[in-house]
Amino acid sequence: MLQYENCTPKPTALAATPGLNVNADPTPDEYYADLSWTSNEFNAWQVAVQDAGQPVPNGLGTYTYVTSPNYHASPLLAAHQYQYWVRAECSPGSNIYTAWAGPFLFNTPICAPEFQCTHTFRLRNTAAGGWHNGRMEVRQNGITIATLGSTLTGTGQSDVPVTLCSTVPYEVFWTVAGTSPQQMILEVLNSFGQTIYTKPAGTGTPGSSIITGEVNCTTPRCDIPPTNVTVNTITTTGATIQWVAPATETYGWDIYVVPAGSPAPTESTTPTYDNVTSITPTSPFSFATTIPLQPDHSYDVYVRVNCTPVPSALV
């Protein structure tokens, strides 16, 4: 990249602080970025704000002229990738400049805080040593929100909270394979604590998206089957059934109890107990059977979340 350099030095230490001013309706919210740089030798500058990826400004053009080493760029588009350049005027009013410094990349906020919620990205591994330098990026609207991998350094798990915007598509992109990609495990929990995605060890391809979807900050999912179905407090003619299904307390559940070894139920199977209410108000939920069971018999138990248009699977 060749530029005229009529005087030196060009500005350094470019920085940008994007922000959002939330205004009362009907005034639209203001997306902006406060730009700054270091250029103690001069008293005036030109600033060029562009879409990311544009070439260096060419010719005189129309640029913003400022007399302090900072600039409030506004209004800008939401969830947009920008860059800016800055050059110093060699002497006041000369219209002669240093070379352009830049580009400095930045992006505006994707949404206002009231439309955000936090997902948890749970990192695990099949062996010690973390993800062995493997990395994945969480992206929304093409903007990298978080990089996953560095926080898992040994055995166990690492939960990484990431704030995302509702109704905006997101993806997890596997950027770096690391030295043991076959050992990497990832689970994604939404803001209601529901596990909405699991990447087991040995699955997925580095250099590609391993999950895509749209964030929902307002409504828990009801199509996720319950987990950890157990039976306790067993009597001769009854038992208490327990299961885990976060954030489904407003839906109700169906329970199917059959002699052990009976065919597994299907979506159209009539449940033994329809749309039950849990004894406990939050997950893990529980229900005590009311239809007498045969003493000294073994039974299989299945539970599903009861919601429309389609309930979860019976598990």
Helix (H) or strand (E) holding 19: strand 12-21
Q: Which two tokens stand for residue 119?
A: 């997902």
Are 115 and 165 in contact, with CB atoms under 8 Å apart?
A: yes
So what's the pLDDT on residue 105? Answer: 97
pLDDT of residue 310: 80
pLDDT value, residue 60? 66
pLDDT at 23: 80
Distance CA 101, CA 112 (A): 31
Q: Say if residues 176 and 133 touch (Cβ distance below 8 Å).
A: yes
Domain ranges within the chain, ordered by starting residue? 12-107, 113-214, 227-305
Q: Who contacts 40 (Cβ-Cβ below 8 Å, separation ≥6)?
A: none
User: Cα–Cα distances in Å, from 293 out to 243, 270, 287, 299?
Assistant: 20, 18, 15, 9
Q: Same CATH topology for 12-107 and 227-305?
A: yes
Among residues 253, 245, 197, the alpha carbon closest in space to that of 220 is found at 245
Instruction: Assess contact for 220 and 306: CB atoms under 8 A.
Output: no
- Cα 16–chain centre separation: 23
d(CA 77, CA 32): 8
Give the fold, CATH level 3, of 227-305.
Immunoglobulin-like (2.60.40)
pLDDT at residue number 1:
53
Contact 241, 286 (CB under 8 A): yes
% helix, strand, coil for the chain, step of 5: 0, 45, 55
pLDDT in 10s for each residue of the chain, 315 residues: 566 778 999 999 999 999 999 887 777 789 999 999 999 999 999 999 999 999 999 866 679 999 999 999 999 999 999 999 999 999 999 999 999 999 999 999 999 899 999 999 999 999 888 999 999 999 999 999 999 999 998 888 999 999 999 999 999 999 999 999 999 999 999 999 999 999 999 999 999 999 999 999 999 999 999 999 999 999 999 999 999 999 999 899 999 999 999 999 988 889 999 999 999 998 999 999 999 999 999 999 999 999 877 888 889
CB 172 within 8 A of CB 136: yes
Q: Which CATH class is domain 113-214?
A: mainly beta
Tell me which DSSP letter residue 182 carries: G
Q: Which one of 3.30.2000.20, 3.40.50.720, 2.60.40.10, 3.40.50.1820 gives the CATH number of domain 12-107? A: 2.60.40.10
- What is the full DSSP assignment across 76-144? E-TT-EEEEEEEEBSSTT---B-PPEEEEEEE--SS-GGGEEEEEEEEEESSSSTTTT-EEEEEETTEE
What is the rounded distance in angstroms from the CA atom of residue 16 to the CA atom of residue 64?
16
Give the integer Cα–Cα distance in Å for 92 and 10.
15
